[in-house]
Copies of this chain bind each other. A is one copy, B any other.
Amino acid sequence: MRSDGDRLRFEISARDGTARCATIQTAHGPIETPAFIPLATKGTVRGLESAEVAELGYELILGNTYHLFVSPGPERIAAAGGLHGFMGWDRALITDSGGFQVFSLAHGGVANEVKGSGRSGGAPGSRVEITEEGARFQSYRDGAELFISPEVSMSVQAALGSDIALVFDECTPFHAERDYTARSTERTHRWLDRCLAWHEREGPRRQAVFGIVQGGVYEDLRRESAQAVSEAGVDGLAIGGTLGRDKEEMAAVLAMTAPLLPEAAPKHLLGIGEVDDLLGGIALGLDVFDCAVPTRLARHGVALAPSPETRWRLDLRKGRWVGNREPLVDGCPCPACQHHDRDYVSYLSRAEELTAIRLIVLHNLTYMHELTTHARTAIELEKFDAYRSAVLAGASPWDATSKIS
């Protein structure tokens, strides 16, 4: 671990079992954790202006290095004053390394396992060549050959000027054999060293770097990886790679991996953000969670709602909402729920009006923000287990809190 307060300070303010509340202080302000991180994949959170994302209460968003590398390219973003200046966002930014997308192309989709169905992996014609040096692939935009190595990833993230960069790793898929996973994890550790060496020499002074713990579903590999990353001198740790074939295996892999991470550093669970999974991660002491699901669901007309039996999904594309005068979720403070009913939002969604996507994005991001805000309160009250149980039993975040306090 390194702990350069100029880049990042991490202060734990409350504990409840292994769950915790903390503040991650970055060059662009604080992040109160546990926190959900909305994706600004291509330099915007779907349909929202940056100022609106801040108004929702978010202090940290995630930019995708792979997409921004392909278009508009790091030079153009650097010329705009980095991703902050480019998109007019003045709070904290984290960028991924590009590895996840590149290796999803190669492996045909980590994304199609527990990290949410529907992400396209292994697109026709996509070819990725992985060597010790890095990964060579074709641009989805114009077919041009592109190359990402640890050094390229870090230099792109330096150009993006994020407050937190993630190291370039190979994200192994669930179907990878133990041998492949072991060799891949070792290479990821060598890439980690190269990332940190490049960053030490040429990285922005105030940019923090998070390492990524790999090792697939294998406890010994996860243990080795957690140790290697912890000792490498990073500002925080992320849990990456496959977490198993289903939610049960994911829970087991997380329960085994989370305690291997050092207590004093921020812990990021990559790509996981379903309601129950996020609460499970918080219980294990994980701090931040990025996920495409809340915004992707909105595109398909699905709102988050307190219904464990449907995996917290309310499908507004269904015809059954005609004439329904209820808000998407009773008591939700978002504009969709404050001003409109299911009848109208369902109509807009079926009519494929942009307004529908926007209203549901606002709702889903409000819901995730409420979920973590109330989780913080519950931890402070040392009642996180009761809060989690109430949400898992079907309470909204705000109702769950009022039940326990």
Chain A residues proximal to chain B, CB less than 8 Å:
42-51, 71-72, 76, 79-80, 86-88, 322-323, 325, 335, 339-341, 343-344, 347-348, 351, 353-355, 357-359
Contacts and interface: CB of A to CB of B under 8 A. Distances in A.
Given A49-B359, A351-B71, A339 B88 contact: yes
Nearest to A347: B72
Contacts of A354: 46-47, 354, 357-358
A72 B341 CA distance: 15
A44, A51, A71, A80: residue with the most chain B Cβ atoms closer than 10 Å: A44
A77 to B, nearest CB: 9
A72 B353 CA distance: 13
10 smallest CB-CB distances across A and B, nearest first, come from A47-B354, A44-B355, A88-B339, A72-B347, A44-B353, A88-B340, A42-B351, A47-B355, A354-B354, A86-B344
A344 B84 CA distance: 11
Count of chain copies: 2
B47 A358 contact: yes
Contacts of A72: 322, 347, 351
B335 A51 contact: yes
Nearest to A299: B354
Given A49-B358, A339-B51, A358-B49, A80 B344 contact: yes
A155 B75 CA distance: 59
Nearest to A47: B354
Given A45-B355, A49-B355, A354-B357, 17 more contacts: A42-B351, A43-B344, A43-B347, A43-B351, A46-B353, A47-B358, A49-B340, A49-B359, A51-B335, A51-B339, A71-B347, A76-B323, A76-B347, A80-B325, A86-B343, A88-B340, A354-B358
A359 B44 CA distance: 12
17 contacts: A44-B355, A45-B355, A46-B354, A47-B355, A49-B358, A49-B359, A72-B322, A76-B323, A79-B323, A80-B323, A80-B325, A80-B344, A86-B347, A87-B344, A88-B340, A354-B357, A354-B358
A358 to B, nearest CB: 6
